[in-house]
Amino acid sequence: MSPKSLILRNLRFIHVPRGGLMKQAKSQSSRQWIARQERDQFVKSAKVQNYRARSAFKLLEIDDSFRILKPGNTVVDVGAAPGSWTQVAVDRVNAIPTDASQPEGMVISVDLLRIPPITGANILDHSDFSHGDVQDKILSLLSGRRVDVVLSDMAPNASGVRSMDHERIVSLFEAAWEFSKEVLTENGHFLGKLWDGEHVRRLKGDLHPFFRSLKVIKPKASRQESSELFLFARGFKRYLLHTSET
């Protein structure tokens, strides 16, 4: 028997169904995701406290530290689905209102995806924030009032290419910032999500002249392995816009 025949004789062939390896990889990835969710204290706490997502604790932590949201505030929350930040905002600005001794706030929530109704919030779901007609709808709901806080938790679907994902989230951040310049009141605040990368320093430089303080925040509720961070700009200097126009 030739060496080639001997090799073929001793080989064991395994039949793999079409797409089998891909399904196995997806199944393993799903199991890992489920296991991570089950271990995650913020996921557990979100269920107990009836928040729609663990991301609520990012905003809670930031607000506890910096007192961004106050009763009577007007808030625009972009990238709001499924609505956990909106839930926090509605409660903290007294948008329902539950405390008759405090002024009543207003929350407008926008996202491309569906946002199930939230009592006290004005929902604009299935809406692309970058489109002018969607921003016009926000302005219509505001009816001429200025905004105290703009929250942006917008993020693209991650491609896995870090540089590309960074560019895309920067574009979303800049869209929220440009809108903020139009609607923020004097001394208003802007909080926007980014993924760490080369443009963070530039964005800090872009925003710095328009605010009294600027801070990069990595909440404890952000996953340790994530490049997620938040740029918090406090105390909008609206008068600078008037100065530049004259």
Tell me the percentage of the chain whose pLDDT exceeds 90.
Answer: 73
Segment 43-66 shows an average pLDDT of 87
The model's confidence at residue 34, banded by pLDDT at 50, 70 and 90, is very low
Q: What's the pLDDT tens digit per position in 119-163? A: 999 999 999 999 999 999 999 999 999 999 999 999 999 898 999
Answer yes or no: is pLDDT of 2 > 70. no
**Which amino acid, one-letter code, is at 152?**
S
- Look at 9-13, 200-204, 222-226 and tell me which has the smallest mean pLDDT: 9-13
DSSP-derived secondary structure for 63-118 = HHHH----TT-EEEEES-TT-HHHHHHHHHTTSS-S-TTS---EEEEE-SS-----
Contacts of 174 by beta carbon, 8 Å cutoff, 6+ apart:
203
Residue for token digits 């999500």? 193
Task: Report which of 182, 170, 173, 169 is spatially closest to residue 210, judged by C-alpha positions.
Answer: 182
What's the fold here for domain 53-245? Rossmann fold (3.40.50)
Residue spans of the domains in the chain: they are 14-48, 53-245
Kindly report the length of the chain: 246
Question: Which residues are the active-site residues?
Answer: 193
Number of separate helices (H) and strands (E) present in the chain? 9, 7
Segment 71-96 shows an average pLDDT of 98
